[in-house]
A and B are shown apart, each in its own frame.
Chain A
């Protein structure tokens, strides 16, 4: 049962282009996250938002910027993609913080040519 929705499922683009990924959760959660998963399945947190406020901003390149219009939506923009950005980007949410269960979307797979 999916309650965290991500679009698109896949995106293929060229180096230097700008891309945006969308995420919406219908669970009424206060906190949302973006994780990056590489080809070896390694999951790394990128951003965390609590009630539209950025809480965690791991040292990701500046070309990545999260955008939140309300606590149910958290988008991710990559201004000028690089080959190393090829990965699966997973959006998640939880009631409060990380002490709780995280609910993940299915992910957006980005391929940079």
Chain B
């Protein structure tokens, strides 16, 4: 079973609108990361938010973390066509390994002109 999971399989917005991708996870974490994967490329990290942080920003991106509900959100304001990608949340591994980052299933965001 997935340790982290985005709540929507696909989202579609028009350019300029705002959008939020949500993620839930099942275990205690040290940090949660958001990645974006464009077609034909590998995932690229957008934001890393640690368990003692509640919010992190990176330009038009804003990530929140709620450890009590084990959930996170990634908001994108003033979306652009180039924001079209699959968005993943990823959390620490558990069970003895320090070298495992587990990805959610991903949310496909499509931004149309």
20 CB-based A-B contacts, threshold 8 Å: A33-B99, A40-B105, A41-B106, A42-B103, A43-B88, A43-B106, A45-B100, A45-B102, A48-B100, A50-B99, A55-B97, A55-B99, A97-B98, A97-B99, A99-B31, A101-B45, A102-B45, A104-B42, A106-B41, A106-B42
A contact face: mostly helix, strand, loop, or mixed: strand
Interface size on A, residues (CB 8 A): 27
Contact mask B30-62 → A, CB, 8 Å, 1/0?
110101010011111100100000000000000
Q: Which of chain B's residues has its CB closest to A105's CB?
A: B42
Contact of B99 with A31 in the complex, beta carbons under 8 Å: yes
Tell me whether B86 is interfacial, beta carbon within 8 Å: yes
A interface vs B, CB < 8 Å?
A: 4, 31, 33, 35, 40-45, 48, 50, 55-56, 90, 92, 97-107
